[in-house]
Amino acid sequence: MRRTQNVETTMNPNTFPRRRAAWLGGLAACAALAGCGTLAPGGLPPGTPIAQARGALFAPTGEYALPDGGTRLEFAQGSFGKQTYMLDFDRSGRLVTSQQVLTELNLATITPGMTAEQVRMRFGRPAWVFGVNYPRGQVWNYRFDGGDCVWYQVSIADADHRVVEANVGTDPACDGPNSRD
């Protein structure tokens, strides 16, 4: 009898519309997620108007004037701030390049003497900033893809707003429990 009930329940014509609706809903969700790849900042094709990029799924987190009269849009995203896309537009407002800039190779190009403005324009907002007393300044911390339990630290002097030092450091988000507690 129990087996017959299962067969009857499975064959119940009232369950087919619900299953079909669930299946179609799942298919629509997959299609929407696949479309996000092209709507995400890194998926926009060259020639895309700047207005379309600004109206994408989320607003830019920064905007910078380029020396040639163009504009750079910053889109910081990803888990723990490990992704920042920089989209460069020419002076007519058309997309020229798009790049995920938070990589260890890119961050390694930060050198002492660069201005804080240059660092911000190339890499966007840091994941975390804290002040230091000696020498007076700030430490900007950038997380990056492929960097598990490490991040890139950039020391910036308050006196001239220039990079003093830049290197990989241990990410405190990976610290275990404090052994003194």
Strand partners, 34: none
| CATH tag for 38-100 (out of 1.10.150.20, 3.40.1180.10, 3.30.1450.10, 2.40.40.20) | 3.30.1450.10
Least confident of 20-24, 122-126, 136-140: 20-24
Indicate the pLDDT class of residue 160, thresholds 50, 70 and 90. very high
pLDDT digits (tens, 9 = 90+) for 9-63: 444 445 445 554 444 444 333 333 333 444 567 889 999 999 999 987 688 999 9
pTM exceeding the 0.75 threshold for the entire prediction: no
Closest residue by Cα to residue 119 from 158, 156, 82:
156
Contact 76, 142 (CB under 8 A): no
Architecture of domain 102-172: 2-Layer Sandwich (3.30)
Task: Tell me the two tokens of residue 146.
Answer: 């492929």
Whether the domain at 38-100 and the domain at 102-172 fall into the same CATH topology: yes
Torsions phi, psi of 118, nearest 5?
A: -65, -45
Contact 58, 39 (CB under 8 A): no
For the chain, the structural domain boundaries read 38-100, 102-172
What is the DSSP code (8-state) at residue 8?
A: H
